[in-house]
Structure 1
Amino acid sequence: MPPGISTLAADIPTLSSANTGFMLICSALVMIMTPGLAFFYGGMVRVKSTLNMLMMSFISLGIVTILWVLYGFSATFGTDKGGFIGWTSDYVGLSGLGITQLWDGYTIPVYVFAVFQLMFAIITPALISGALADRVKFSAWALFVALWVTVVYFPVAHWVWGAGGWLFELGVIDFAGGTAVHINAGAAALGVILVIGKRVGFKRDPMRPHSLPLVMLGAGLLWFGWFGFNAGSWLGNDDGVGAVMFLNTQVATAAAMLAWLAYEKIRHGAFTTLGAASGAVAGLVAITPSGGAVSPLGAIAVGAIAGVLCAMAVGLKFKLGYDDSLDVVGVHLVGGVAGSLLVGLFATGGVQSDVKGLFYGGGLDQLGKQAVGVFAVLAYSLVASAVLAFLLDKTIGMRVDEDVEVSGIDQDEHAETAYDFSGAGGGAGSRKAVPAPSDTVAAAAPIKKVDA
């Protein structure tokens, strides 16, 4: 019998319709996060790049779904091969599974577990796209997604969650994806942008978000879907752990949003909507690995720390000179690192496991394990992603031509524009032009009023 599959014998769990229905709902919630991410990113770019940003997320729904069925599920959750990758022939094409077969030790069918994990695989490469706004060929991006999930995501997810994966066996705690999803995507984003370079006009032209309402809509969808992302990762709620994770998700997100806004008020003098949205996402990222190990008070600490750290980190690109368009590195990489390491400090030993962090008498052991997981995933994803981007750039080319980037990638790559004003009348031309908004969180400082 392939690993991860149970028969319906009397001495093992039987199918639970309640847990099965719960997990199907959670899978749908995680799926809606990818369109939510598309809106979040789409509102943060300039008008001329809106559709391209939306499509960079949506294409992941197509590509990763097919690859997951063909070999991704097998590579991630199949029989362990040396701690690095999995493989089970019955998982290839999902053709060797029966509808009554249960995922190992759980009360849900293998098919339900497979579709839930598929949604994680879909959103992870989509997260990378925010760092590459305005300047990447859509065909090159699509090929990068296919190669990246194969070379990076499937192996790393096996390390962290697959039975026999080396980080899993080490005892690294990652409830729902701090390492496998957020550090993985954030490090990949950094690797790719170091290869493809900066946007035309970086640090010179105004690049503020063109639609903050879209950003807020996207953030709201992400927040909503994240309950399935996090609470669903316990694969049921018979023992209440999923309920704790649900509560901690809300608590940490609220704390991070408030902490980001407080930092922003002190640093820039105002509370911005972009800051609220970005702070919420930072909290969601940080609680993802840690929420099953900490108490609600610990979740407040995790969220507040991540909110401040991520708010500080988004400005590093201007100091260090890398062009992370929508702050994937500052939010997902930094937030993922913070949340993963804070497990080693705030784990209570009373939720998902008996592992305790430093502040609860557990010493430095778990913090050390968390650090190994963090930096192993960061290093592998950074290097592998940079190599993939380099090879694509030297073969088919990753970047659009400079004139396309300046005039707008939407029209050239998709033959469409996000907003069609051709039928609108009125004296638009008589009004003074307003500078285009910037797409960076760091540039969200309030615009001061001036006398006419």
Structure 2
Amino acid sequence: MAPAIMLAADAPKLSSADTGFMLICSALVMLMTPGLAFFYGGMVRVKSTLNMLMMSFISLGIVTVLWVLYGFSMAFGTDAGSIVGWTSDFVGFSGIGKMDLWPGHTIPVFVFAVFQLMFAIITPALISGALADRVKFSAWSLFLVLWVTVVYFPVAHWVWGTGGWAYELGVIDFAGGTAVHINAGAAALGVILVIGKRVGFKKDPMRPHSLPLVMLGAGLLWFGWFGFNAGSWLGNEDGVGPLMFVNTQVATGAAMLAWLAYEKIRHGAFTTLGAASGAVAGLVAITPSGGAVAPLGAIAVGGIAGVLCAMAVGLKYTFGYDDSLDVVGVHMVGGVVGSLLVGLFASGRGQSDVKGLFYGGGLDQFWKQCVGVFGVLAYSLAVSAVLAFLLDKTIGMRVGEDEEISGIDRAEHAETAYDFSGAGGGSVGTAASALATPQTKKVHA
């Protein structure tokens, strides 16, 4: 069929409502990276807290600059061989006018670019959780530069860029199941297979030092995820964005309940860490599928992901890889589950008329999802492992054993997360003792 001729009157016009909505969504997604930092920071031991926070925060600086220089062009520029994009006007944002609209939409190119920037920032930050306690901050920063350049930017083009091979195949990834979560989870697995385990893995207790901090981070992630998911439709004219908003809440709640139920049956307790991890597993799983499934399907997606991710986090002890904060078990497995379930639960009444197996659509979409999922997984795992190997053999990826044992915060940042020097004892304690009367001393004796 010949392409329709678009008259000037039919061309999209800038919508202040959509533009404002997308700017708010961009801010929500930006908030997810500090939220992730708190989530991860509470899960590590005290001596690694600041390093964990910094591994997320540094992404806000590095990826922002690279995105403006060439990342946006590689991800969303004109397609070249279905592998990568490139548009010279996008380089340095030099050829983008403030009123230029993103093709087919009612928002400026700048708004689309900054929204996608926030995805590019949080994706490599997700990887950091698997590497807790043992990676040089300088090596991590250089890895970040290389990884987003040769992995994230091209994969984002595959999945979301016009002409990208996964996009043209018809792989459904509403907001980042493959491009973000599988990509980051597979990368985490590739890196930890190269750099090895923490000192004391399986021997020393490595419990979270602050579960309140974990819950705060999980709450910020859940809040920001509404912008992450609902904003990915880039507008609200047809109701798909609101559907995604509802499904995000529904799947997250279902996953949290499923994880806690599994945990109670398997380990005999409902833990706060399990509640937070289950919620994140649901958020991950609904990210690729939420625009395609109905709310009942979202309950199924969340429930299945909650159980499977809870089961998957224990695999590191079975297979002996040290995924410090369960990035593989939650993000890679959750992304795989959510992406593949599109092929089963797509209702045909959401973002497209594509139906999954349970809605009479057969297995056609399921096989497309498999190709997208395992294509991204294999590429990210292999390239990430190669990058880690090269860095480890040149500048070294890990801190020394003594530095790891004594604490990476002091070794890499010359700081500690908590300063107790003024709490009790010392001059403060002496002054308090001097001010006490004989009567109060007797009471406290």
TM range (shorter): over 0.9
> Which residue identity is paired with 1:24?
L
Q: Give, in angstroms, the shift of residue 10 of structure 1.
A: 2.6
Aligned 1:106-117 pairs, distance under 5 A? 106-117=105-116
> What residue in structure 1 maps to residue 421 of structure 2?
422
Residue 218 of structure 2 is aligned to residue 219 of structure 1: yes
Residue 241 of structure 2 is aligned to residue 242 of structure 1: yes
Q: Give, in angstroms, the shift of residue 104 of structure 1.
A: 0.6
Give SS of 1:60's match: helix
What is the TM-score with the length of structure 2 in the denominator?
0.94
> What residue in structure 1 maps to residue 188 of structure 2?
189
Alpha carbons 1:295, 1:348 under 8 Å: kept: yes
d(CA) in 2 for partners of 1:335, 1:8? 44
> What residue in structure 1 maps to residue 12 of structure 2?
13
> What residue in structure 1 maps to residue 136 of structure 2?
137
> What residue in structure 2 maps to residue 125 of structure 1?
124
> What residue in structure 1 maps to residue 58 of structure 2?
59
Structure 1 pair 350/241, CA: closer, same or farther in 2 (3 Å)? same
Alpha carbons 1:8, 1:14 under 8 Å: kept: no
Aligned 1:424-439 pairs, distance under 5 A? 424-425=423-424
d(CA) in 1 for partners of 2:10, 2:163? 24
**Deviations, residues 148-167 of structure 1 (Å, cap 9, x unaligned):** 00000000000000000000
Gaps of 5+ in 1: 1-6, 428-452
Query: Which runs of at least 4 in structure 1 moved beyond 2 Å after TM superposition?
Result: 7-11
Alpha carbons 1:8, 1:101 under 8 Å: kept: no
**Deviations, residues 5-43 of structure 1 (Å, cap 9, x unaligned):** xx9943310000000000000000000000000000000
**Deviations, residues 78-117 of structure 1 (Å, cap 9, x unaligned):** 0000000000000000010111110010000000000000
Q: Give, in angstroms, the shift of residue 397 of structure 1.
A: 0.3
d(CA) in 2 for partners of 1:84, 1:10? 35
> What residue in structure 2 maps to residue 331 of structure 1?
330
Residue 319 of structure 2 is aligned to residue 316 of structure 1: no
d(CA) in 2 for partners of 1:94, 1:214? 37
> Which residue identity is paired with 2:287?
T
What is the TM-score with the length of structure 1 in the denominator?
0.92
CA RMSD of aligned residues (A): 1.0
Give SS of 1:206's match: coil
Alpha carbons 1:141, 1:398 under 8 Å: kept: yes
Total equivalences in the alignment = 421
d(CA) in 2 for partners of 1:169, 1:218? 36
Aligned 1:43-82 pairs, distance under 5 A? 43-82=42-81
Residue 356 of structure 2 is aligned to residue 357 of structure 1: yes
> What residue in structure 2 maps to residue 433 of structure 1?
none
Q: Give, in angstroms, the shift of residue 59 of structure 1.
A: 0.1
> Which residue identity is paired with 2:25?
C
> What residue in structure 2 maps to residue 291 of structure 1?
290
Residue 299 of structure 2 is aligned to residue 300 of structure 1: yes
> Which residue identity is paired with 1:295?
A
Q: Give, in angstroms, the shift of residue 202 of structure 1.
A: 0.1
d(CA) in 1 for partners of 2:272, 2:158? 37
d(CA) in 2 for partners of 1:184, 1:258? 26
Give SS of 2:10's match: coil
> Which residue identity is paired with 1:422?
S
Alpha carbons 1:345, 1:367 under 8 Å: kept: yes
Identity of aligned residues (%): 87
> Which residue identity is paired with 1:183?
I
d(CA) in 2 for partners of 1:253, 1:11? 39
> What residue in structure 2 maps to residue 372 of structure 1?
371
d(CA) in 2 for partners of 1:162, 1:263? 39
Give SS of 2:293's match: coil
d(CA) in 2 for partners of 1:189, 1:9? 48
> What residue in structure 2 maps to residue 231 of structure 1?
230
> What residue in structure 1 maps to residue 201 of structure 2?
202
d(CA) in 1 for partners of 2:383, 2:8? 43
Residue 85 of structure 2 is aligned to residue 86 of structure 1: yes
Give SS of 1:379's match: helix
d(CA) in 2 for partners of 1:324, 1:337? 17
